[in-house]
Structure 1
Amino acid sequence: MFKKLLFIVFFPSYVLAQNFEFPAVPNNYVTDEAQILEPNEEGRLNSILRNFEDSTSIQLFVYTSPALNGFVMADVCQEIFHKWKIGHKNTHNGVLIGIFLNDHAFRIHTGYGMEGVLPDLLTKRIQDESMRPHFKKNDYYAGIEAGIDQIQYYSKHEFKAELEKASVNWEGILYGYLFNILMFSIFLYFFIKKEARKEKIADSKDDFNNC
């Protein structure tokens, strides 16, 4: 029974891996197998996405394909995500825009480290409101760029908030350190003064006893 369950769970992925021609791990952020972008457009997108990763550590890739060949789009995107290892190991902060030309289908696929930043409702809104209107006019570059702009907007705001939470308040630490030194110095001053007074009283008693 257990073997049957494993077969049911993993067989679709096995069939997909064997029959869908997945591209090799790319050197750049944009892989345009559907040839819907001009070389200069692809270059601009690569530059934008490189700067995006440099400033946020988030990896955003674009993959275009002529067709799904009967496979489920979410499964194809997930397999590409896995094979390309999109997103950093510790944060899983990767995003893939998958476009399948002949199927008139596209998807924003996120790693689970980005699900809080880009939930399904938001990615659907980005697809419907920012990308689809351009795709309907066959202006794929504008649609991809609009989608990237929206992903960057929401990701940068979330990332900035996380940075502010995680950043160390060095100024506060310094003030706290100086305050502690000051309080210790005051305590030490009065302690020494008190001890000196005790010694003076003791000396006075000794002098009196010696009279």
Structure 2
Amino acid sequence: MRGLSRRLSFPTLIVSCQARADNPLYGPQFMAAMAKAAEAGGAGGIRANGPEDVAAIRAVTELPILGLYKRWLEPYEVYITPDFAAAQAIAEAGADILALDATPRPRPQEGLAELIERIHTELGKPVCADVSTLEEGLWAVELGADCVATTLAGYTPYTLKTEGPDFALLRELVQALAVPVLAEGRFWTPEQVGRAFELGADAVVVGTAITNPREITRRLVRSVPR
């Protein structure tokens, strides 16, 4: 597992501290504050996007950082750490584990096998493979991924988006893989988090339900009588 166990203790809750440019909380200073709040609440790790946010979070916490770098490069659909340059940027910013899109879709530079190998040999970092299917998880591990996450379930053209977390995929990955499996995507309640651990998840990654007040508010406002 290439030092993964030295970076994350399992089981654990990882809080995803990310905000899009249209969000009032967009910016490294806000994500660093979110990370400190998550740490105070008992989180075992932080998932963060981009070198600026990763560096700001690294400056305020010693929690393990699962880093990624979202870069939209036309005409490619892959945008989660799509190439080595993106991986190197977040590694140098302080990420402990590098998350990347592990689907078989075309990439702007290196193929997945080469990208994982370069991250291991040149950066000395473990790789978390974000997948949307069991087959992708198996393939990623075969290529050397150190852990697998259900991050992309329902977000690829060939998978269906479930109402809540994709527990079926989580179950399949846990049963088929010998590496740690992280459950991520559409977690809203403690009950859902608990179920993921019951199914064998080594970690659960929660973002919007913790770190996006705008979406939390919108969700609750739907219950206001009209």
Provide the TM-score with structure 1 as the length reference: 0.28
Structure with more contact order per residue of length (Cα contacts < 8 Å, sep ≥ 6): 2
The structure where helix makes up a greater share of residues is 1
The structure where strand makes up a greater share of residues is 2
